Chain A
Amino acid sequence: MMPNYLVQVIIENKPSISDPEGATILDDLVLKDNHSPISQIRTGKILKFTIKEKDKAKAKAVVQKVCDDLRIYNPLVSKVTIEVFNA
């Protein structure tokens, strides 16, 4: 019987791409009125996949392929970080 895994995919822009949303949250919300040790905020998107696979490594590989093949992230400007958890 194959277990369920929760595969979390974070899509975020590559560091060289400016992130106006993150910059706005930092400048107009977090830093406003306050000196803060926070120096940067970058935004991203999370997709959580529930997948039945034989092990974590396979679950991660399948989701990576889905993200690559279907252009779930645009490789020109974004990267994905994938983590697998027990469901």
Chain B
Amino acid sequence: MKVGVIVFPGSNCDRDMYHVLTDVFKLDTEYFWHEKSLPKNIDAVVLPGGFSYGDRLRAGVIAAHSPIIKDVKKLAEKGTPILGVCNGFQILVEAGLLPGVLLKNTSLNFMCEWTTLIVENNKTPFTNQLRLHQEIPIPIANGEGRYYIDEDTLAELKKNNQIVFRYGKAVNGSSYRIAGVCNKEGNVVGMMPHPERAVEAEINPIDNKPSTLIFKSLLKTIGVKN
């Protein structure tokens, strides 16, 4: 079972993600530079957090035009589990793989704090081991985390069960307090908070078990495939 972590110029959460996938969950993980190709039979792909291209013009927009995104789109169509975390979520949104847009937090500040996520969809490759409405203590670290969607599209997301996580309380002005969404097929998930920073008890001051289940969900999904 192989998982790919894509690295864009300016990504800086790739190593934390690689460490968690490799050292905690014992997955065969490989870094893929944004100009490389992804193997057709890769089991899962993660787009990590960071500041790709320094967030120039708009967070994620330049990285969304990277050569590797062509392969990400093909894998998305194939049904491969794909997770975008923070900047990774911004890139997936700008690449058209997920609905909505990420804007500056209404506080206009970079927000770096622990918050709570509520699971709204436990059928994705990253949430199938969680209970519906389970709470996940998890950190956010972003300046452009305000998820925006218009009323009509929000109705669509609700109808199609595409809202994966919501913030427990209003945090950054996100529409409907949305913290993470998936595509219609449910295999591509984007989330603003950092699950890779919440998995280890040493750095999670609250409860590391729920975020561990995000990765265990992935193990379950790709284990079943093989």
Which A residues have a C-beta under 8 Å from some C-beta of B? 16-18, 20-21, 24, 70-72, 74, 76-77
Contacts and interface: CB of A to CB of B under 8 A. Distances in A.
A70 to B, nearest CB: 7
B145 to A, nearest CB: 13
Contacts, number: 30
B57 A72 contact: yes
A70 B103 CA distance: 18
B58 interface: yes
A74 B106 contact: no
Interface residues on B, range: 10 to 19
A70 B101 contact: no
Nearest to B146: A20
B108 A21 contact: yes
A76 B100 contact: yes
A10 to B, nearest CB: 14
A17 B147 CA distance: 12
Interface string B61-72: 100110000000
B58 A74 contact: yes
A7 to B, nearest CB: 16
B220 to A, nearest CB: 34
